[in-house]
Amino acid sequence: MSWTNSFLLAVLGLALAVATVRSVPRRRWIILLLMDVPLLVLLVRWASFRQAWLELVTGLVGSAAAFGLWWLLHGRRLGPPRDDNIRVVTQDDPPDR
């Protein structure tokens, strides 16, 4: 078993879970269809080709545990994401410091 592969899968799963949860609720289905489902298919195909099912399961369990910890410590205090707080920064309109 490769712990490096498990760690990378856990980090990838955590990043994907945070991105999905922090997306606008109306657009969450698009995120699921364009990011989550294709990645899941690729991961299953990778695990099948490499016979790395233990690494896949370990990585997914690790990402679920890390996401649960993130949610308990930080995520539940965040407000719901909205479309109206998106700001495009340009040279004419620099960010406030």
What torsion do the CA atoms of 60, 17, 70, 11 make, to the nearest 10 degrees? 50
Residues of the chain scoring pLDDT < 50: none
How many CA atoms are closer than 13 Å to the CA of 72, on its beta-carbon side? Answer: 6
* Amino acid 85: pLDDT: 66
* Amino acid 97: pLDDT: 58
Domain locations in the chain as residue ranges: 3-77
pTM (two decimals)? 0.80
